[in-house]
Structure 1
Amino acid sequence: MREIRTIEMEHDEPAAAWRVASPLAVTVTAGQLWLTVEHDSEDYWLEAGQSFVLQAGARAWLGAGRDGMQVAVTHAEARARASVVPRRQRWLPRWLQAVRASLA
């Protein structure tokens, strides 16, 4: 048996910060997910059907694209890898600009 959690976020909601206790697989089921991980120089933009594995101990920020997002979160194997390639996004929502400015 495994637990699956569904998380939804609208475009205008502030980014959510997560501290990951055990490896998690985040799979986008609708919309677009913005993901950044502490000590990783890339931002990740995931579309529906794409997944990303957050390793234990990671600190991550998640936000929604223009159409919002819905993700499924499950426990993952520690050796699993991401199934996406980093892609830079030229537009940034105002809340994201504020978050990035506060971290600089």
Structure 2
Amino acid sequence: MREVRIFELEHGEPAAAWRVARPSIFKVISGEIWLTIEGDSEDHWLATGESIELPRRAVAWVSAGQSGARFALASGSEQRVARPTRGLPVFSWLPRWLGAA
């Protein structure tokens, strides 16, 4: 199971810092987002339909473009495979994408 949250940012709101507890997908639903990840040398401008994967323990700074923005944050984005245990089957889990853009 994974959690999906939807957020809205208005233009002019101060940049917000996100501490990522588990791997997540950040997807812009509408508007434009400025995103920078601590330790990454590049800033990212994401438009409607664009997304980026945020690794566990990352700190990301988020701000909205001129018209504000709406975005989704979905946890549990990386593929997980259980390790084999003597004679027991191996189960794998790969979450579905947030949906077609």
Q: TM-score range by the shorter chain?
A: 0.7 to 0.9
The 1:58–1:33 alpha-carbon spacing in structure 2 relative to 1, beyond 3 Å, is: same
- Unaligned segments of structure 1, at least 5 residues: 80-104
CA contact (8 A) 1:11 1:64 kept: yes
Alignment of 1:75-94 (within 5 A): 75=75, 76-77=77-78
Could you list the structure 1 runs, at least 4 aligned residues long, displaced by more than 4 angstroms after superposition. Answer: none
The 1:41–1:47 alpha-carbon spacing in structure 2 relative to 1, beyond 3 Å, is: same
Q: Distance in 1 between matches of 2:22 and 2:12?
A: 29
Aligned partner letter, 2:78: E
Aligned partner letter, 1:77: E
* Shift, 1:78, TM fit: 6.2
Aligned partner letter, 2:22: S
Report the counterpart of residue 69 of structure 2 in structure 1.
Answer: 69
Q: 1:63-100: per-residue Cα shift (whole Å, max 9, x none)?
A: 00001010011011169xxxxxxxxxxxxxxxxxxxxx
Q: Relative to total residues, which structure has the larger strand share, 1 or 2?
A: 2
Aligned partner letter, 2:67: D
- Unaligned segments of structure 2, at least 5 residues: 81-101
Report the counterpart of residue 11 of structure 2 in structure 1.
Answer: 11
Aligned length: 79
Q: Distance in 2 between matches of 1:7 and 1:35?
A: 14
TM (norm. structure 1) is 0.72
Q: What value does the CA root-mean-square deviation take over the aligned residues?
A: 1.5
